[in-house]
Amino acid sequence: MSRILIVEDELVIRAALKRLLEKHSYTVDDVGSVAEALTLTSKYQYDLIISDLRLP
């Protein structure tokens, strides 16, 4: 199964994306910052990372 990471600081958008992808049987992790994303990328390997273009 594909593992996807969502990096998005707006909770509503992040939750909607996660729900949609999980509905299609993807394993999804979601975080609100680049720092959190770096922590997860050191633990897991992702097939796809969806990232907000304007993160702080």
pLDDT in tens, 7-30: 999 999 999 999 999 999 999 999
User: Which is higher by pLDDT, 48 or 56?
Assistant: 48
User: In the prediction, which pLDDT does 1 show?
Assistant: 74
Rounded (5°) CA angle 11-8-36 = 105
**Which parts of 1-56 fold into alpha helices (H)?**
11-23, 34-43
Instruction: Find out if CATH 3.40.50.2300 is the number for domain 3-51.
Output: yes
Domains in the chain: boundaries: 3-51
User: In the prediction, which pLDDT does 20 show?
Assistant: 98
